[in-house]
Structure 1
Amino acid sequence: MVTLFLIVIYAAFISLGLPDSLLGVAWPVAQKEFGASLGDAGIISMVISVGTVISSLFSSKLLKRFGVGKVTAVSVLMTALALLGFSFVPAFVFMILLAIPLGLGAGAVDSGLNEYVAEHYESRHMSWLHCFWGVGAMAGPLIMSQYMSLGVDWRMGYLTVAIIQFVLVAVLIATLPLWDKVAEKTSQKKQEADANGENPGELEREADLDPPIASGKGGFLAPLKIKGAKVALISFFLYCGVEMTLGLWGSSFLITEKGIDAAAAAQWVSLYWGGLTAGRLVSGFLAIRFNNQQMIRIGELTVLLGVVCLLLPLPQFVCLIGFILVGAGCAPIYPCMLHETPVRFGKEDAQSMMGFQMAVCYTGSTLLPPFFGLVATKVNVGLLPVFLLVYIVIMLVSSEASNRIFNRGKQS
């Protein structure tokens, strides 16, 4: 039952990734129809991000009151209705309005599922969970491009994804009774493994940590008062800066600085995302051998090596290797940082802290790529590796600082 139910969670994360890349593919056609500018897609993206940040911050209260299963089902229903609306919109302003429920639904699903998997499943499942997000993110453009290649209206792409979401809603409603049963069963297994000494790694660390703030005490910002919380959030903020900045500006960097044509540059960037998705599949197996802290460190050092390949004046193929290394390095960082949440902050504050982490992540992905875009416009897009280097170095320092803080708690 536990394994079969995990398939449902994976499917939910595929659905979370499906809408994320639709707008970029559909917009070049949709903007002409609406008489909007190419940059107006940024307005829709910003509204989605703001909605996601808001729902992430308040997800803890909803999850504690209604449970992960109900919140996930309702949130996916919100995204399905929003996507259905996208398939019928007569004007640009309606896309902005529909972006609100799309963002609100995505944030609650992200926070709820991440916390649930972090608490009830092993680290490898968190990596595979985010690998399935990548599957959804890659499948969305494929669905949209298939309709466009056939000369069908771009709205059919949104309609198809909406139908997939509605099917998932039906599955989630049917499996509502399983959420608490699976949680209880996995908790019992963990307790038995801990008692028998079969799984000493993360369980010992979790048992040794004594979070100073109890859930529900100290108000909305109480989890931030836990020692090390703010340092940990820096890593989340900068991680999204690295991932999304290279994903957005990598093609422009290759064309302008490396003299690569647009088609080849697009292929190189696709290899970056492919490296990220494949890396998370591999990370799930590596997580059997290494703990979360080791996986995060390996990922950060791999990203650092990839950024150096981009920074140095080396042949083009080395730059390609750099893109793949950054993608593969990013793969374990985010899932393993999320999986550490109950260990670092305790189960009582895990939901609240997960919401803050999600909000910080979306804030980083919203602010840092446009910030570099402004610098690139005013100065030079060739500064991309320099910015990435600064981000990854600060992230590495803050990550190691977090490890020292929480490991010291284990020893005391």
Structure 2
Amino acid sequence: MLRRGAASSRKATHTAVYSLLLAIIYIAFISLGLPDSLIGAGWPVMHQDLGVPVAFAGIITMIIAGGTILSSLASERVTRRFGAGVVTAVSVGMTAAALVGFSASGSFWMLCLWAIPYGLGAGAVDAALNNYVAVHYAARHMNWLHACWGLGASISPFVMSYALSSGAGWSSAYLVIGLIQVVLTFALLISIPLWGKVNPIVPSGHADDVEDAGGHSSGRGGTHVPLAQALRIPGVGLVLIAFLAYCALESTAILWATTYLVADRGVDPATAAAFASLFLIGVTAGRFLAGFFADRVGDQQMIRGGFVTVGVGVVLLALPVDTDVLALAGLVIAGLGCAPIYPAIIHSTPVNFGRRNSQAIIGIQMAAAYTGSTFAPPLFGALSAWTGMWTFPLFLGLLVVLGVVMSERLNRLVRRRELVG
């Protein structure tokens, strides 16, 4: 009786810790999305106040992207040494400091300076949080967490809009978001002891899963997996290309969809802008919906179904018909298809490659993601200047095919490994 009572008490304690930490991570994902739309929303006014050309926004975003790529690649070593909780808290603190710094910047070079800690913090927390959730929580939470990121990214333009319309200025929007990040940093610091008390849920089947099950659930400790070693693991190259293709597809669609609808299809600019925003709404809403059946369907089917759905949307977008309805519907369908791909690729990593390797591989995946999302839109911009905007669906279609081929090859490799094992 006493043993059953003690076991019941331990289970209740674990459930409470599990739920409390999950709530903190949900808030963290919303907060992480908040700064991502601020530059785009405020730049029309910011560049005038700072006295720089419009194109200089690309310099800031490139600095941020460079920092995120570097910190993503270094995240495995840092997280193993300090733990996911510490890395998350410190990284959010870096982004908070950077945002407050943005709010106090009166010149362009100061924005560039503060963009460095912003990028470094964003990449490290992205890799650490994604791996922790992939190892410790079910697939539905990975989808809902990334939907929360989309929610945060959707809120920040309204914060910037209010700041500008009220006369407070763009700097006040950065200050508000920065202070929210400061509060989150303190919450994360307080929560650090909880991160090691949530048990991993990854199914057994890898030798290293059994070995690591004892004490590294917080992401701290264990054997360092060098970058070169992680890249040599069979299948890693396939998942990196698939992930890069997806992120390139998403970022290209976000940037160029409105221009394509207006320039090539003759859609009214206001209508095109509204439906382009529905692409992002489709991604966010799709992730909330995907969370309800992700555990039953499984990551492989979610990735496959997502790419196929995007493909259907791209075909509708490209059909040479007189009506614009199919093109507009295709954009929304493509957004819904994009929804489960990113969370499912991340969540499947510990299962495909083992928990011991997952932090290193997810760090590389984040670097691949930022590489795709940074360089694909300007690449298509240069291509369209030469060939014409009509190539937009073709460009997206090629990325869909690349993502499907790479993910299916990875699935076959994983199945063969399971049969041999």
Report the TM range for the smaller structure's normalisation: over 0.9
Which residue in the other structure is 1:270 paired with? 277
SS at match of 1:340: helix
Amino acid aligned to 2:158:
L
Is residue 63–residue 71 contact of structure 1 (8 Å, CA) maintained in 2?
Answer: yes
* 1:261 matched residue in structure 2: 268
Residue aligning to 2:205: 207
1:275-314, Cα deviation, whole Å (9 max, x unpaired): 0000000010021320100111110100000000111113
Q: Partner of 2:192: helix, strand, or coil?
A: coil
Fraction of identical pairs, as percent: 46
- Who is 1:305 aligned against? 312
Letter matched to residue 273 of structure 1: L
Match of 2:398 among 382, 390, 398: 390
Does 1:158 pair with 2:174? yes
Name the SS for the 1:258 alignment partner: coil
User: Equivalent residue of 1:352, what SS?
Assistant: helix
Q: Is the 8 A contact 2:76 2:225 kept in 1?
A: no
1:106 and 2:122 are equivalent in the alignment: yes
Residue in structure 2 matching 1:294, options 289, 301, 304: 301
* Alpha-carbon separation, structure 2, partners of 1:262 and 1:398: 36
- What is the one-letter code of the residue matched to 1:68? A
Greater Cα offset, 254-263 or 402-411: 254-263
1:210 Cα shift? Answer: 7.8
Query: Do 1:240 and 1:361's aligned partners in 2 also have CA atoms closer than 8 Å?
Result: yes
Please say if residues 68 and 121 of structure 2, whose CA atoms lie closer than 8 Å, have aligned partners that are also in contact. Answer: yes
- The TM-score, its normalising length taken from structure 2, stands at 0.91
Give the Å deviation of 1:152.
Answer: 2.1
Number of the residue aligned with 2:348: 340
Kindly state the Cα deviation for residue 217 of structure 1 after the two structures are TM-superposed.
6.8
Structure 2 contact 300–344 (Cα < 8 Å) conserved: yes
Checking the alignment, whether the CA contact within 8 Å between 2:208 and 2:355 is kept in structure 1 is: no
1:41 is matched with 57
Q: Deviations over 1:227-262 (max 9, x none)?
A: 111011110110001100000001110110121232
Structure 1 partner of 2:288? 281
Q: 2:364 aligns with which of 356, 364, 368?
A: 356
Q: Which amino acid aligns with 2:101?
A: G
Q: Hey, which bits of structure 1, 4+ residues long, moved more than 6 A?
A: none
Q: What is the CA–CA distance in structure 1 between the aligned matches of 2:128 and 2:224, rounded to whole Å? A: 21
Instruction: Deviation per CA, 1:177-213: give whole Å up to 9, x if none.
Output: 101012xxx33xx4xxxxxxxxxxx72xx516889xx
Separation in structure 2 between the aligned mates of residue 404 and residue 217 of structure 1, nearest angstrom: 28
Shift of 1:379: 2.3
Name the residue aligned to 1:195: none
SS of structure 1 residue aligned to 2:205: helix
Distance 2:147 2:116 in 1: 26
Give the SS at the match of 1:89: coil
Q: In the alignment, which residue of structure 2 is the partner of 1:323?
A: 331
Q: Which runs of 5+ in 1 are unaligned?
A: 191-201
Distance 2:257 2:117 in 1: 30
The residue aligned with 1:67 is 83
Instruction: Please report how far the alpha carbon of residue 218 of structure 1 lies from its aligned counterpart in structure 2 after TM superposition.
Output: 7.0
For 1:221, what is the secondary structure of its paired residue?
helix
Number of residue equivalences = 392
Map 1:18-97; keep pairs closer than 5 Å.
Answer: 18-97=34-113
User: Measured at CA, do residues 108 and 218 of structure 1 come closer, stay the same or move farther in structure 2, by a change above 3 Å?
Assistant: closer
Q: Is the 1:19–1:161 contact (alpha carbons within 8 Å) kept by the matching residues of 2?
A: yes
Aligned to 1:401: 409
- Counterpart residue number, 1:128: 144
Distance 1:49 1:391 in 2: 21
1:368 matched to 2:376 = yes
